[in-house]
Chains A and B, each alone.
Chain A
């Protein structure tokens, strides 16, 4: 084990896989000479050369679509989206091509590719640079969609993504890039998709989250434990597709209460899917309706005070927990 930042964990995963398999390559905007907007790819061009670390034009559809073609021919491309907001330009390539070609070919091709990049609110990045996409991609069969919350998961899940046979949407958070944590050194350390984990044990209420909001949930859980004696069990979903809710149902059987925390818009969001599933599968265990903590239903504003109002914070999570415990 070594202490690593989330950023370094991602880079380590990519470089170890590139060392391991010559078919792995990475492409993206300004990932080579510039070394990446968030410096995830620093040093990679120098080590692997321009054939494997490809600086692309600003052309997200081109990046994603060429990656599909490469993957169908046996390469394992990683596409770095400077931010996931830009990947909307490539929606046709991702949703109509990457996600479906295995199916409509009757299983004649594998599509081992990763589309990765940061999503979510930063600091005053405004409407076009602050969005989250787990619900958007999670809607489509044929994709895997993951959102790791820790450096260890970032590394282990990225390795799983690179070694797989399917297109993976790998959702990072720029706000987590500097976060540090213990990461196993074993070059074959991987974290499988579709295995939620209990990030914090508790007996009073179940808090379900992933990605950056998982970290927020853990902070609130510790505070409530200290200040009010409430013990929240926090579940890290890790992946949206495949989605593993069994640990959530097991937890709800114990706590009888649940909230779901997601960063952005409530309508048709991940929290809606998860709370509906809890209702369908654990209805008799519930002592209160499932509560959703979400961002406000507006495009992200620029002004810092408005941005903070639009985004879930500690008190939103604490209030939701108290509400389902009838302690509000």
Chain B
């Protein structure tokens, strides 16, 4: 997994900073990783539910390269990319999906519950919208402890109709008034709550406006353009860190795969629609831009692809060869042992 160096200053979207190439490399890696998970799922190596991120990579990489060590991240069930972008070991993420004891959550969480606290990843959660309250409380804790760390909370458009969303945002807005809620909310608006489109699930389709109703500023950003996401994140993260107030990015994005691995027919959208959106593939947009900016060539990208594939293959092999959790693990971690 290519690591993107911690940023202390905003990177210039017009200049060919080396970091942009690393971000492209990361996005390509995430795509190849997710493609592998779909293959392994079909082979029966990965069980349960599998929700892949393909199409949304700019939202993970654009934001998570703009934060720094010590910041913490919460996500929903479409969480592989967030864990990977934060630096979780790909082989241990893959092992988790394979249900192996070497997985990031010891094989007890699976796809929806990746966890890597050491890298700031405080989890994927499977109850849509349920984790927003956790992120809000965590943000409070970071300020209570007088740090300048921030919390980032990813959720989809479909998470905005559950009670926990409203209770969390109202409390975040209130605590923000006292500078006690340094939280960046990221709506990954991919147009669908599973198979129900935004206009069918949200009485008000302007999702950013719904966030603003809680006294939290919100901006709509093109989620397929990592330059736009990263530029906004640099500015907003700095503001959150300084003020301790929450802020929201509504990233307009699209998922190329089904909702989950079992969503084959996708009766809620047409093949044409998906094809149209593939013209705005975030990886494509970025490599075209880097071709102009940095004279990056097809060969360069091909090399990134090959490197990604090789590392993903190693991750799959590691997962394959790892042992299942010990039977005794069934009873550990239920409660503390002291």
Contacts and interface: CB of A to CB of B under 8 A. Distances in A.
13 contacts: A51-B144, A59-B167, A61-B163, A74-B145, A89-B163, A92-B164, A102-B335, A104-B109, A106-B104, A106-B106, A106-B109, A108-B116, A109-B122
Nearest to B129: A92
Nearest to B164: A61
A93 B145 contact: no
B336 A96 contact: no
Contacts of B134: 65-66, 68-69, 72, 97
Contacts of B333: 102-103, 105-107
B336 A102 contact: yes
B178 to A, nearest CB: 8
A73 B171 contact: no
8 nearest A-B pairs in the assembled complex, by CB-CB distance: A65-B133, A69-B137, A66-B137, A62-B167, A106-B106, A73-B141, A107-B333, A165-B336
A103 to B, nearest CB: 5
A141 interface: yes
Interface of B: 72, 74, 103-110, 113, 115-117, 122-123, 125-127, 130-142, 144-145, 151, 163-164, 167-168, 170-171, 174, 178, 180, 332-336, 338
Given A25-B144, A105-B105, 5 more contacts: A62-B167, A73-B72, A106-B104, A141-B334, A165-B336
Contacts of A142: 334-335
Contacts of A218: none
Interface residues of A, number: 42
A37 interface: no
A29 interface: no
B336 A65 contact: no
A61 B133 contact: yes
Contact of B117 (A57, A68, A108, A166): A108
A51 B130 contact: no
A33 interface: no
A97 B135 CA distance: 12
**Most chain B C-beta atoms within 10 Å of own C-beta, residue among A61, A73, A74:** A73
Contacts of B108: 103-106
A97 B131 contact: yes
Nearest to A58: B167
A30 interface: no
Interface string A66-107: 111111111101000000000001001100110001111111
A56 B113 CA distance: 29
Contacts of A92: 127, 130, 164
Contacts of B164: 61-62, 65, 92-93
B123 A69 contact: no
Contact of B107 (A59, A96, A106): A106
Interface of A: 25, 50-51, 56-57, 59, 61-62, 64-75, 77, 89, 92-93, 96-97, 101-110, 141-142, 144, 164-166
A104 B113 contact: yes
Contacts of A62: 133, 136, 164, 167-168, 170-171
A280 B138 CA distance: 44
A66 B336 contact: no
A89 B131 CA distance: 15
A67 B167 CA distance: 13
A25 B163 CA distance: 24
**Most chain B C-beta atoms within 10 Å of own C-beta, residue among A107, A110, A144:** A107
A188 B244 CA distance: 36
A302 to B, nearest CB: 28
A111 B123 CA distance: 14
Nearest to B124: A104
Contacts of A106: 103-109, 115, 333
A146 B104 CA distance: 33
B170 A59 contact: yes
B335 A69 contact: no
Nearest to B131: A97
B167 A107 contact: no
Contacts of B106: 106-107
Contact of B334 (A66, A102, A105): A102
B138 to A, nearest CB: 4
Contact of B145 (A66, A71, A73, A108): A73
A105 B174 contact: no
Nearest to B174: A57
A73 B105 contact: no
